[in-house]
Amino acid sequence: MRKITYAEALSEGLVQSMERDPSIFVTGIAVDYPSGIFGTTTEAYKRFGRARVFESPAMENALTGIAIGAAAMGKRPVLAHPRNDFMFLAFDQLINMAAKWKYMFNGNAGTVPFVSRAVIGKGWGQGATHSQSLQSVLAHFPGLTVLMPTLPEDAKALTIAALQHDGPVIILEHRTLYGTEGEVSEDFVPAPIGKARVVREGTDITVVGTSLMTLEAMRASEELERQGVSVEVVDLRSIRPLDEETILKSVAKTGHLIVADTSWELCGVSSEIAALVAEKGFKSLKAPVKRIALANCPAPVSFELEQAFYPKASTIAKAALATLGVAKSDLGLIDVEDNFKGPY
């Protein structure tokens, strides 16, 4: 099978969906730039032009309201945010209108099938207001579907699925992933929403990861395998709905759990999964659950502090050895240097 990048996979899923559904249009800041949201909207603009891919001013809440109205009238808008931090300005429309639309009108006002894409994660010194990951905040509200594809294959398949879904969908894309490559089918096939993926099977410890942290877990698991530790890595893919079955099944097999998330620990995704296993899988646990998340402070700007701020593969590997009660050993150079170049 051919290999393409995460960004190319997102683009292909969008273009193929637009070919099949003329009601889909794309808007947001910089979507019609030559670099269009890290290249993910460039091909759509070339193929469909300004009639279906067009720039918008920075008016996040108003534009989200317009998108909800368009969706209610039969369109399928895709609203792209170069930073998910900008979505704070759209929360009124997202939470009080889109998420509740079907519930408030008892289904008599139709549905609002729109997709909001947003970029998360570390960059190149973007600092406190441009480096956040809002999955737990968004997933808190019933009515919103929140997806976090990690692999290029899922970036395409979940884009297709989101553009076929009846309700509002948030897709959070980590900026470090855009250049990663993977096998992606040329076929037009959606992925199941709400289903996690076991990306590596193991028997000693489970690592449940979100987005980039799943890749860090994969790097950690390769080193740990050389040291005789078998790691099962679960890529969550969907925050809401949450695939409880896959998580509990994996923990029942390994008896140990680490949750690695791209956001903070308190009231976060890692807390939710730890609570899930405590409530429904406690008898499987042979040691306390370990959560790996951001340091309890806003993201720093300086390069050195930023490097220390974010958990890495070595963070996960050390936590796995500690959870299993294995003596620390030389982990080698398993951390990958971040060479991401912005802006968008």
282: Cβ–Cβ under 8 A, 6 or more apart, which residues?
none
| DSSP single-letter state for residue 3 | E
Specify the range with the lowest mean pLDDT, choosing from 100-114, 123-137, 241-255.
123-137
CA distance 248 to 186: 33
Catalytic residue positions?
A: 130
Q: Given pLDDT bands bounded at 50, 70 and 90, which one contains residue 225? A: very high
Per-residue three-class SS string for 184-233? CCCCCCCCCCCCCEEEECCCCEEEEECCHHHHHHHHHHHHHHHCCCCEEE
If you average pLDDT over residues 21-33, what whole number do you get?
A: 96
Alpha helices in the chain (DSSP H): 6-20, 36-39, 42-48, 60-72, 91-93, 101-104, 135-139, 152-162, 212-226, 244-254, 269-280, 303-309, 313-324
pLDDT value, residue 25: 98
The backbone torsions φ and ψ at residue 109, rounded to the nearest 5 degrees and listed phi first, read -110, 20
202-213 pLDDT, tens digit each: 999 999 999 999
282: burial class by Cβ within 10 Å (0-12, 13-18, 19+)?
A: exposed
Kindly tell me if the per-residue pLDDT of 343 is higher than 90: no
| DSSP single-letter state for residue 327 | P
pLDDT value, residue 106: 85
Which of 197, 317, 186, 307 lies closest to 250 in space, CA to CA?
197
pLDDT value, residue 128: 86
